[in-house]
Amino acid sequence: MPERVIRPRRPTDLPACAEALRGVHETDGYPVRWPADPQGWLTPRDMIGCWIATAGDTDTDTDRVLGHVALTRAGAAIAEALALPAAKLALVARLFVAVDARRGGLATDLLDRAARAARDEGLQAVLEVDAAAAGAIALYERAGWRLAGSGDGGWIAADGLPARVRFYVGPVG
């Protein structure tokens, strides 16, 4: 298997990222609703950074995307839920691993990359996850993230009800 590399996402990576996301959506229902503009969805407002995992040669514009993670400024809602100042937080977002690249620790590596970037900026990494996403919750807890609360996700879940989310704070140091 080619070496996996985690590197900053480039604009030319967006089509491959959207293609990998499509497979995740079709298999896992993430995101719950397919976005009209998947490349735009992968580039959230207030983005601090974004990284992808690739296989093989990382000097081309045709890298195969194995996974993706973004880091954004945290909004007031999550800051309020965690009782922490938003200016001190960075939100891990848009984390996914391509269906055929799972079970090799890649999600943990991407999560660690985003948390390290937050620390490098003097920020505390946080995230929110659908309370029904047992696999993702297990990943975060194995990786040392601490459950800090729960609340309303602000969107409608696949079952048609308001989403419930769990809020996590990343490991320090």
**Which residue ranges of the chain lie beneath pLDDT 50?**
1
Q: Which domains does the chain have, with CATH numbers?
A: 4-126 (3.40.630.30)
Give me the pLDDT at residue 59, please: 56
Q: Provide the residue type at 145 as one letter.
A: W
Give me the pLDDT at residue 158, please: 75
pTM equals 0.90
Give me the pLDDT at residue 57, please: 57
Give me the pLDDT at residue 1, please: 46
Q: 10 Å Cβ neighbour count for 25?
A: 18
